Amino acid sequence: MADIKMTQQVPESELEKLEVRDWPIWTKETSTFAWSYDEEETCYFLEGEVTVTPEGGQPVRFGKGDLVTFPAGMTCTWEVKQPVRKHFRFG
């Protein structure tokens, strides 16, 4: 299975190329929940701190300023440590 991909300190030029600012925004309060990805999701964190642990894998921490891609077919647990606000795109 593919891994979570994370890029920190993404240049504004890259965000513009991806049209990140046009993507919808998702927010979530501090919480822990299970999640499965039916399709790939790419997101850009505007606020918050999260640890995502893939089933059978190692925890990955990310937050404000990180561009993250979750692979299709991944099942994981999200632990939202600080409330999240992120742009997201599926597919």
**pLDDT the model gives residue 15:** 97
| pLDDT score of 29 more than 70 | yes
* Residues 16/58, Cβ–Cβ less than 8 Å: no
pLDDT band at 1 (very low <50, low <70, confident <90, very high): low
Interval 31-82: pLDDT, tens? 999 999 999 999 999 999 999 999 999 999 999 999 999 999 999 999 999 9
pLDDT band at 24 (very low <50, low <70, confident <90, very high): very high
Pick the CATH number of 5-86 from 1.10.150.130, 3.40.50.2000, 3.40.50.300, 2.60.120.10: 2.60.120.10
Q: How buried is 46 (Cβ within 10 angstroms: 0-12 exposed, 13-18 middle, 19+ buried)?
A: middle
Residue where the block lists tokens 């999240």? 84
Sketch the domain layout of the chain as residue ranges. 5-86
- Its pTM stands at 0.94
